[in-house]
Structure 1
Amino acid sequence: MVFSSLTFLFFFLPTCLIAYYAFPQQKVRNCILIVFSIIFYAWGEPIWVVLLIFSAFWDYLNGRFIDRFRHRPAIARLGVVSSVIVNLSLLGTFKYADFIVNTVNDVTGLGFKPPGILLPVGISFYTFEAVSYVIDVYRGEVRAQRKLLSFMLFLINFPRLVAGPIVRYAHVAHEIEHRQFNREDFSSGVTRFCRGLFKKVFIANNAGELCQQFLGKGLEEATVSGEWFGLLMFSLQIYFDFSGYSDMAIGLGRMLGFHYRENFQHPYVSTSLTEFWRRWHISMGSFFRDYVYIPLGGNRRHATLNIIIVWALTGLWHGASWNFIIWGLYFGAILLVEKNGLIGLLNRLPRVLRHIYALFFIVIGWAFFYFTNLDQLWRSLNVLFGATDAPLYGFQVGAAFWANALWLALALVLCMPTASAIDGWLLRTCGARIQAGVEVMQNLVFLGLSVVLLVGQTYNPFIYFRF
């Protein structure tokens, strides 16, 4: 099940909220959320619920084991090793088995048959949450959760189960047991959800259609301007798709009393790649920083090697394909150059030039992300930089731009921190009542337009579901 479906909007979510708020007892509410989370996850692929529950039970036991032997680190460490090995083995089996077999076949010429294992939705996200939990218990940053159902709620809560944000146990531990209904939180949650739904349905899906029209065409159809336009559309699609999901997850969390941390901070306003990765998929970046980069030595020793390792793993986390590894190393290389002096040079330039620099390399980076076939990737890069016989311009680009100019202008506005600025201006100049009324109207417009579009659309899942 996806948030941007009529089934979720008009059946699952209302039923869940009614059942949840029908009972004031926190324990009952937690059980209701667990049941609805299992239904949510099982809707499309019920067999993987067994794997999800096993992971939750296994990491609950390891957390208890570590906590019990917290004064004997050598023994407690066994719980960490056990959890990490099992979690990464499951992730490796389901996500990377085909990739490993195909790579071995390509290198050796052997003909091993790939196992063809389906990827459980969300496994990359809940695996990271489980691993971070047991490591935090071992480090003494949190105490192990003693109640199995409470731990299950942490790991499988449906708002961020399948595509994040990646939540640390410490950030929600108190709210698992002590949530209070807050009208302002519920209202802001509805607003955030409607905004995220609109970003996904109205902008990301439209950008995706334009991207498919122009990006990756054969040489006989390609133009340089069309290839750039298609890549720009994919840049919009992936941002509004993923940030829209994060907005919906954060909004749903607030409706239910949880306060998840921000996952995006307007990344396309960045003036460097370093700044971009502080604003994009923040929960993933902080995971790799705290659980990979710093334990490897961080900036203290072998910083260059550590950055290369982290970004290779970042690419591999996104997908079992060489293009994702290249994508990660591409950004890692640029970050190394910035770290070793380029940032100082960039800071001397006008802000607009720094912004152009950042956007240029960000957009090029999305080409590595988009094309899983390396031959297609190479062909596209050649077209982008005029290294083929493809013409510079085709009339289709201008026609597509002007036909979609309205929502493209809106997308440009939403890429910037304008919404919060407008909310603040309304509150200061018109008062809280007018600001609240405008917010209600905005929600109705966003929800209404999204529903109208959803009625005529086929199934269109979020991009990050496949990771």
Structure 2
Amino acid sequence: MVFSSLLFIFLFLPITLLMYYGAKDKWKNIVLFIMSLLFYAWGEPVYVLLMIFSTIVDYTHGMKVEENLNKGNRKKAFRYVISSAIINLSLLGFFKYADFIVSNVNIVFNTNIPLLHLPLPIGISFYTFQTMSYTIDIYRGDAKAQKSVIDFGTYVALFPQLVAGPIVRYQTVADQINQRIHSEEKFADGVNRFCIGLGKKVILSNQLAVVADGVFNAAIGNISVLESWLGIICYTLQIYFDFSGYSDMAIGLGKMFGFDFLENFNYPYISKSISEFWRRWHISLGSWFRDYVYIPLGGSRVSKLKIYRNIFIVWFLTGMWHGAEWTFVIWGLLYGLIIAMERAFLNEWLEKRSNAFRHIYVLSTVTLLFVIFRSLTIGDALDFYKVMFGLSNNPIVSNQLYIYIIDYWYVIIAAMILSTPVVKIAKEYINSKIDVNESKSLQILYGLSLSMCVLVSTIMLCSSTYNPFLYFRF
């Protein structure tokens, strides 16, 4: 079940909200826990057992870590942290990377070990990182162990951020698990945020996906040079509105149930360096790797050589986190190389260039690297690059290119504009220039625009079965 589905919007969510607000405060977490398990079980009933197992493992390990810290036995407490990490990473490794490892062993050693072909549990990369951070935070003294297994299970299985984040660390919501604020204003903010995310996903991302998928799924010899560029530009916009839209819906749903999740995107396509881009893109993942990998390795407080080592370790793991394919590994390592170059000398050089040049540098780099991210194999990516740069016999233009432009030009232009903070800046400017009565009129107009957004999204969902969600792959 996905947030941008009619089943979720008009059945699951209303029923859950009625049950949640109809329950007494002491029962609200139980309602959330049960409904979250049902949400997850809708698509993968067997893997609910995996999530419950992971919940019990980390709940008991967290209790043991705190118990030994209170006794002054930090070594034993640390062993429980390691035990928790090993169990979590073993589960993630088995379900996500087993076939990747076996297939590479078969290639290197010319063996014929059969693949497992296990379906990837939805959201396992996200909730594994969340549960790992729990025991680490307790060991560091950043959080207290949760005494109720139901309350801890609510944190792990919480459906608003379960399948695609943002990655919610326990320390950021520890106080909200048992005591959170519910108000009409907060609920309204949540509804607004959900509607915006729904529009991003359905009206923009799904339409951009038609072009991107059409180009990348076509035979490489049948696409033109300009068509390849249009395809990767649409994919670059698609993945942003897909994932940021889902994050907006998750944050909005969290507010409806009284939670405040941290932001996950901050207009990354306006960045002026790749380092800045990754401070604005998938913020929860970047901060997780920073706090639990980069800094423990020494961060920037070590020698230059070790700093670059730390950068490459983080970006190797970032690539692997996204998927069990060499395309993701190389994609991650290339980002590590660019960020290391920026730290070494490139940032100093970029600061002397114009803002326009720096924006072009970021957008072109991100777009070109998304070719590797989107391709199934490195060979596919190289073939696509050849078409993009006219190194093959493909034509410059094609009839299909004209069809895409005629059918989707307005969506592409709208996506380009809305990927920048133009609307946000305009809204802030207008609010600073109007009086109270005009403000009320604008609020009504804003409410009507959100209602129209939901109406259009609903019509599009009713009239089409094409509703892809990219981050289910991860």
- Checking the alignment, whether the CA contact within 8 Å between 1:101 and 1:112 is kept in structure 2 is yes
> 1:405: how far off?
2.1
> 1:143: how far off?
1.0
What's the counterpart of residue 279 of structure 1? 280
Q: Distance in 1 between matches of 2:248 and 2:83?
A: 34
- Checking the alignment, whether the CA contact within 8 Å between 1:189 and 1:252 is kept in structure 2 is yes
Q: Distance in 2 between matches of 1:305 and 1:393?
A: 44
RMSD in angstroms over aligned alpha carbons? 1.3
Deviations 1:423-446 (A, max 9, x none): 323433153422321221121111
1:227 correspondence with 2:228? yes
> 1:217: how far off?
3.5
SS of residue paired to 1:220: helix
**Where do 1:245-256 residues align within 5 Å?**
245-256=246-257
1:434 aligned to which of 430, 441, 452: 441
What's the counterpart of residue 421 of structure 2? 417
2:385 aligned to which of 381, 388, 391: 381
SS of residue paired to 1:393: coil
- Checking the alignment, whether the CA contact within 8 Å between 1:311 and 1:332 is kept in structure 2 is yes
| Range 294-303 or range 310-319, more displaced | 294-303
| Partner AA of 1:45 in structure 2 | E
| Partner AA of 2:190 in structure 1 | G
What's the counterpart of residue 358 of structure 2? 354
Q: Distance in 2 between matches of 1:170 and 1:433?
A: 38
1:457 correspondence with 2:461? no
Deviations 1:213-262 (A, max 9, x none): 22353343121111111000110111010000000000000111101000
Q: Distance in 1 between matches of 2:456 and 2:231?
A: 25
> 1:418: how far off?
2.7
What's the counterpart of residue 177 of structure 2? 176
Structure 2-normalised TM-score? 0.96
**Where do 1:73-88 residues align within 5 Å?**
73-88=74-89
**Where do 1:26-425 residues align within 5 Å?**
26-70=25-69, 71-215=72-216, 217-301=218-302, 302-425=306-429
- Checking the alignment, whether the CA contact within 8 Å between 2:206 and 2:468 is kept in structure 1 is no
Q: Distance in 1 between matches of 2:190 and 2:424?
A: 15
- Checking the alignment, whether the CA contact within 8 Å between 1:2 and 1:461 is kept in structure 2 is no
- Over 3 Å counting, the alpha-carbon distance change for 1:359 and 1:311 in structure 2 is same
SS of residue paired to 2:222: coil
Deviations 1:330-376 (A, max 9, x none): 11111111111111111111111110111000000101100122221
Q: Distance in 2 between matches of 1:291 and 1:252?
A: 27
Q: Distance in 2 between matches of 1:32 and 1:438?
A: 35
- Over 3 Å counting, the alpha-carbon distance change for 1:183 and 1:33 in structure 2 is same
SS of residue paired to 1:296: coil
- Over 3 Å counting, the alpha-carbon distance change for 1:222 and 1:461 in structure 2 is closer
| Partner AA of 1:8 in structure 2 | F
Q: Distance in 1 between matches of 2:400 and 2:221?
A: 14
Q: Distance in 2 between matches of 1:417 and 1:406?
A: 18
Query: Unaligned stretches of 5+ in structure 1?
Result: none
Deviations 1:49-75 (A, max 9, x none): 000011111101000000001121101
Q: Distance in 1 between matches of 2:100 and 2:79?
A: 30
> 1:459: how far off?
5.4
> 1:395: how far off?
4.2
- Checking the alignment, whether the CA contact within 8 Å between 1:41 and 1:158 is kept in structure 2 is yes
Q: Distance in 2 between matches of 1:311 and 1:108?
A: 28
| Partner AA of 2:20 in structure 1 | Y
- Over 3 Å counting, the alpha-carbon distance change for 1:461 and 1:31 in structure 2 is farther
Q: Distance in 1 between matches of 2:63 and 2:425?
A: 46
SS of residue paired to 1:194: helix
SS of residue paired to 1:298: coil
- Checking the alignment, whether the CA contact within 8 Å between 2:234 and 2:412 is kept in structure 1 is no
1:12 correspondence with 2:19? no
SS of residue paired to 1:199: helix
SS of residue paired to 1:260: coil
